């Protein structure tokens, strides 16, 4: 064992085996995601019908503002690049790094963080299977633009992305949901005022990015945030009930 490996091992709160187990949780989630993708791909007509209804609902509410927001993004090369990178990196890379950082630096908060993400994502996957929804980028006749396909060298049709991503997973927005959970947890564990401010702003920036690239409706974002809140409240109440039962038996 090298000195570097030994140092890292000492820093891991419960060793390499426990860390590998946590990685296995996320591999299981990825497998579940692929199964749901297969289900959604077989019901494309329903996905487009559901997407159309989301558009009509927003129109009825007088709040179909996404095309205007997209025009703002498309007017700036900086915004195009920033929102595109945010879309690709926010859900998996940022979530994974945040989980790893909390695991190592604030281990007592890790399990609540992990469970919140898993619970919310599993419910989100169930909704995808039951209610597949085509994203706004698939409705150019309504003024939506597929920003990634138009301006980026990497888009939903690129290589492994075309295989791994679910093209009919607009409602709810897991990007927005995960960003909210990560932002809340990281705001709570960070001590630097700058870091806390950045994590407080992070969810709003992700929401702007997923809408601005034509990948989600604003109602998807709202649904994702509500799902995150509901999952968090459910887990918190379960934990309180568990503590009460333990105390009552003492």
Percentage of residues in the chain having pLDDT higher than 90: 49
Whether residue 143 has pLDDT greater than 70: yes
For residue 17, the model assigns a pLDDT of: 67
pLDDT at res. 111: 86
Compare 103 and 51 and report the one with higher pLDDT. Answer: 51
Cα dist from 12 to 6, 78, 94, 104, 223, whole Å? 10, 39, 20, 6, 36
| 2-45 per-position pLDDT tens digit | 544 444 444 666 656 666 776 777 777 767 766 665 565 667 88
Flag whether pLDDT at 185 surpasses 70. Answer: yes
Do the beta carbons of residue 173 and residue 228 sit within 8 Å? no
Please state which of the ranges 55-59, 64-68, 73-77, 241-245 shows the lowest mean pLDDT. Answer: 241-245
C-alpha to C-alpha distances, 31 to 13, 36, 180, nearest whole angstrom: 27, 9, 23
* Of the candidates 104, 102, 129, the residue with the CA atom closest to the CA atom of residue 43: 129
Report the helix count and the strand count for the chain, using DSSP H and E.
12, 0
Q: Where do the structural domains in the chain lie, given as residue ranges?
A: 19-152+172-249
At 96 the pLDDT is 86
Closest CA to 70 of 150, 156, 13: 150
Lowest mean pLDDT among 3-7, 57-61, 243-247: 3-7
CA-wise closest residue to 197 among 205, 93, 221:
205
pLDDT given for residue 163 in this prediction: 52
Average pLDDT of the chain is 82
Q: Between the CA of residue 171 and those of 26, 168, 205, 218, 221, what are the distances in Å?
A: 21, 8, 19, 10, 8
Give residue 42's pLDDT.
Answer: 63
Of residues 100 and 208, the one with the higher pLDDT is 208
- Chain segment 152-177, per-residue pLDDT in tens: 665 555 444 545 567 788 899 999 99
Q: Which two tokens stand for residue 208?
A: 């702007």
Question: Using 50, 70 and 90 to split pLDDT, how confident is the model at 126?
Answer: confident
């Amino acid at each position: 064992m090298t000195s570097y490996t030994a140092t890292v091992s000492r820093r891991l709160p419960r060793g390499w085996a426990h860390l590998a187990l946590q990685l296995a949780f996320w591999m299981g989630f990825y497998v579940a995601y692929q199964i749901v993708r297969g289900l959604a791909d077989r019901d494309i007509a329903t996905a487009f019908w559901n997407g159309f209804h989301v558009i009509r609902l927003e129109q009825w509410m007088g709040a179909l503002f996404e095309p205007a927001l997209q025009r703002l993004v498309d007017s700036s090369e900086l915004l195009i690049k920033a929102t595109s990178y945010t879309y690709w990196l926010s859900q998996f890379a940022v979530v994974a790094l945040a989980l790893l950082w909390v695991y190592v630096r604030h281990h007592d908060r890790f399990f609540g963080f992990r469970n919140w993400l898993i619970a919310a994502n599993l419910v989100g996957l169930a909704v995808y299977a039951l209610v597949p929804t085509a994203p706004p980028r698939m409705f150019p006749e309504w003024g939506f633009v597929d920003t990634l396909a138009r301006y980026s060298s990497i888009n939903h049709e690129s290589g492994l992305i075309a295989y791994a991503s679910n093209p009919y997973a607009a409602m709810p927005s897991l990007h927005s949901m995960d960003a909210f959970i990560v932002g809340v947890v990281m705001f709570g564990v960070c001590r630097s005022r700058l870091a806390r401010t950045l994590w407080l702003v992070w969810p709003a920036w992700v929401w702007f990015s997923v809408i601005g690239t034509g990948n989600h409706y604003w109602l998807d974002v709202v649904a994702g945030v509500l799902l995150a809140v509901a999952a968090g409240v459910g887990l918190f109440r379960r934990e309180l009930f568990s503590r009460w039962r333990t105390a009552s038996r003492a």
